[in-house]
Amino acid sequence: MSIVKKVMWVLLLVVVAAVGSLYWLGTRDDASTGPAAAAADSATLVERGRYLALAGNCMACHTSRGGKALAGGTPIPTPFGTVYGPNITPDEQTGIGAWTADDFWQALHNGKSRDGTLLYPAFPYTEYTRVTRADSDALYAYLRSVAPVSQPNRPPELDFPYDQRALLAAWRALYFKPGVQEADAGQSVQWNRGRYLVEGLGHCAACHTPRNSLGALRSADALAGGVIPVLDWYAPPLTNDMETGMGRWSAEDIAALLKTGIAKHSSASGPMAEVVLGSTQHLTDADALAIGVYLKSLPATPASTERTRAAVAPAAMELGGKIYKQQCVQCHQAAGEGSGTAWPALAGNPTVTAPSPVNAIRMVLDGGYAPATAANPRPHGMPPFGQLLNDNDIAMLVSYIRNSWGNEAGGVTALEVKRARAASTLN
């Protein structure tokens, strides 16, 4: 055999070994799954599961607009195409009626369907793997208690090669390692509970951590904020940077936003308003505060962004200030201090000072309301100005509020407003 052929055979064996290793790493299960949870009173278990389903916001992805509860069909847009939330009612044919508690645990913990099919990470098993077996069993008991709905699952509509499910093995080998979250003995019970909710069931990183080109979370920038792909909303940093993160907030402020949708520094809008409406308002006071305590322990890491802070011309600030006095000062006040929780402050507001101006632009364009929660059933709203102000006007206005009263967030261009207007129309 010639040297060239020997080299080719060696290279072939290396490639086969590498592919085999990636496949094994990407399809392996966590061996420490543990036994099923001890039996409990069924009503208690179901109620516990109902609470966990709210905390995990299961309805958001598994209930389509106008559809039956948890019957699936919700489109979940990604940069690679659209996947659809599956039916998780106990229907035997189209839902999870034939699943066992072990099957359900495998989906949450190992990211695999009942038959071993690898699940797309639009289902956040990368975070749900931290959920305990006891909580998995409670969720399963609750889902078994809801009304079964016969509704076939809609297959994903993904671009090539992302529609090749076998390639998930390589993705998982690179970016996923199953494992329940262990408590940190050096921290309080409250802190550990907050971390469990943030990093596990609440899957906060799914929006608040930037992603790489393959859709995996950039672990080095955990909870450092980023634009939510396709939706074009910015999820702000949950770290404690004073300018762009939660540095000015207390744990109680964070809990208030989660429970009511409003706080003295800001109010929930866009996708976060939907999270508060469908999920976090239902948290117990203790769980909401635990999340606040955990988030306040995070370092003062600056926001993750590739956007350069643009200077604002004095003329633009002057014109933006005039528009502010004409349209905004009555509610948000001359110094941007707002009016209690009815109209949030703009000074130090992370929506305003975020590296990306897209949220502030979209609020000016479309207006909006904080979510109508049990604690705040009739929130004050902001009228839309998209029809009244042109792109240049909005750019100057948003530049003004981002650079007044101690805010130093940089300028906004008319092109950015135009793009946000287009995204707003599409969404």
Q: Is 203 annotated as a binding residue?
A: no
Alpha helices in 250-304 (DSSP H): 251-260, 270-278, 285-296
Q: Is 328 annotated as a binding residue?
A: yes
Q: Is 109 annotated as a binding residue?
A: no
Query: CA–CA separation, 200 vs 197, rounded Å?
Result: 5
Integer distance in angstroms from the first to the last C-alpha of the chain?
A: 63
Specify the pairing of strand 157-158 against strand 75-78. Answer: unpaired
DSSP designation for 40 = -
Q: Is 380 annotated as a binding residue?
A: no
DSSP letters for 332-352:
H-TTS--BTTTB---TT-HHH
Specify the pairing of strand 381-382 against strand 75-78. Answer: unpaired
**Joined tokens for residue 79:** 């940069």
Contacts of 417 (CB under 8 A, 6+ apart): 361, 365, 391, 392, 394, 395, 398
Query: CA–CA separation, 415 vs 427, rounded Å?
Result: 18
Q: Is the dihedral of CA 346, 347, 351, 355 positive or negative?
A: positive
Strand partners, 72: 63
Q: Where would I find the beta strands (DSSP E) of 88-225?
A: 157-158
Q: Is 282 annotated as a binding residue?
A: no
Beta-carbon-side half-sphere exposure of residue 292 (alpha carbons within 13 Å): 21
Q: Is 204 annotated as a binding residue?
A: yes
Asked if 317 and 408 touch (Cβ cutoff 8 Å), the reply is: no
Known binding-site positions = 58, 61-62, 204, 207-208, 328, 331-332
Known binding-site positions for heme c = 58, 61-62, 204, 207-208, 328, 331-332
